Amino acid sequence: MQDVNLLGPYLVCRAALPALLRAGKSTIVNVASAGGIKPPAHMSAYAASKAGLIALTTGLALELAPTVRANSICPGIIKTPMTDALWSNDTDGGADAVRRAVGLGRKGTPMEVAYLALFLTSDESSFITGAVHTIDGGPVQAHS
């Protein structure tokens, strides 16, 4: 898990760094996880690997500015085969669990994550670096 979630992105960044520095005005966008910010129960190794990726990205932003910007994206529950499988035994496919866990009451889509990555690589985000961007549907409002 550490190799895939942390070492892999590190090696890609290291390999791409000479070209990014030559190009100037470059960006790095690493996809971490909301679990790297607020670790879910029974997923400590996963959470640690994603927290490490967030720290790596923030460190790169400090070290590479102003030539290269670096930001993290931290998705929450996104509709993918992996998250569909988490609730495959539920009669409602996990819809009730998602409604309890996500303020907007639904899973995000891969395209919503892609649009955030696209924004972070565009000139419109030229004053954003070292930031951790959650894309998780928001917090659930506490009921009194």
- Where in the sequence numbering do the catalytic residues fall? 46
Three-state secondary structure call for residue 55: helix
Nearest to 28 by CA among 15, 39, 46, 47: 15
DSSP alpha helix (H) spans, 24-141: 44-64, 81-86, 95-101, 110-120
Rounded distance, CA 40 to CA 32, Å? 14
